């Protein structure tokens, strides 16, 4: 006896919303970074290095969104794998670029990595929220 399972719904993700979210969450991380560095004993170079790392995360996030082609219809299961791969890829590329800046341009490693991580977490939270809303609408 075979069971007939209903096909999984295919959905697209809102491209513009994902792009705006990536830019907006990175901007919020940048504002937070600026606020924290103004309060603490850090110099301007530290503040700018962290902002550079957050800018790198934003650029990598935008490229990652375009590479995963959110306008293409896929099953929800496929989207899960694509989003996980995009998140891991974004983290590896952004931190890799920051480490290259550390070794090539002798930027301070602390602000580079902390800024990158702050940006990555913010973008991940925003992207996951958008995807979860789309998944919920598709299965409702």
The string of pLDDT tens digits covering residues 55-81 is 999 999 999 999 999 999 999 889 999
pLDDT band at 2 (very low <50, low <70, confident <90, very high): low
- Taking only the tens place, the pLDDT of each residue in 22-37 is 999 999 999 999 999 9
- Taking only the tens place, the pLDDT of each residue in 117-133 is 999 999 999 999 999 99
Structure tokens, 54: 């957050």
Q: Does residue 5 lie in a domain region?
A: no
Q: Does residue 68 lie in a domain region?
A: yes
Cα separation, 65 vs 63, in Å, equals 5
Structural domains of the chain, count: 1
Cα separation, 135 vs 79, in Å, equals 9
Show the CA angle centred on residue 61, arms to residues 117 and 37, nearest 5°: 35
Indicate if the pLDDT at residue 54 is higher than 90: yes
Q: Does residue 31 lie in a domain region?
A: yes
Instruction: Give the pLDDT confidence score for residue 3 in this predicted structure.
Output: 66
Q: Does residue 41 lie in a domain region?
A: no
Q: Does residue 2 lie in a domain region?
A: no
Indicate if the pLDDT at residue 7 is higher than 80: no
Q: Sign of the CA dihedral 30, 34, 36, 41?
A: positive
Q: Does residue 140 lie in a domain region?
A: no
Q: Does residue 105 lie in a domain region?
A: yes
Query: What is the residue-wise DSSP string for the chain?
Result: ----PPPPPEE---HHHHHHHHHHHHHHHHHHHHHHHHHSS--HHHHHHHHHHHHHHHHHHHHHHHHT-TTS-EEHHHHHHHHHHHHHHHHHHHHHHHHHHHHHH---HHHHHHHHHHHHHHHHHHHHHHHHHHHHHHH-
Q: Does residue 129 lie in a domain region?
A: yes
pLDDT band at 140 (very low <50, low <70, confident <90, very high): confident
Q: Could you tell me the residue range of the domain that residue 56 belongs to?
A: 13-36+46-135
Give the number of residues written for the chain.
140
| pTM, full prediction | 0.89
């Amino acid at each position: 006896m075979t069971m007939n399972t209903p096909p999984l719904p295919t959905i697209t993700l809102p491209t513009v919303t994902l792009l705006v979210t990536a830019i907006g969450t990175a901007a919020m991380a940048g504002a937070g970074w600026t606020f924290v560095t103004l309060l603490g004993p850090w110099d301007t170079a530290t503040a700018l290095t962290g902002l550079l790392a957050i800018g790198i995360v934003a650029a990598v996030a935008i490229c990652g969104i375009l590479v995963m082609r959110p306008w293409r219809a896929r099953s929800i299961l496929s989207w899960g794998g694509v989003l996980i791969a995009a998140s891991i890829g974004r983290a590896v590329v952004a931190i890799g670029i920051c480490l290259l800046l550390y070794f090539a341009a002798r930027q301070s490693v602390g602000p580079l990595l902390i800024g990158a991580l702050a940006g990555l977490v913010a973008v991940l939270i925003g992207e996951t929220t958008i995807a979860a809303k789309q998944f919920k609408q598709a299965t409702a």
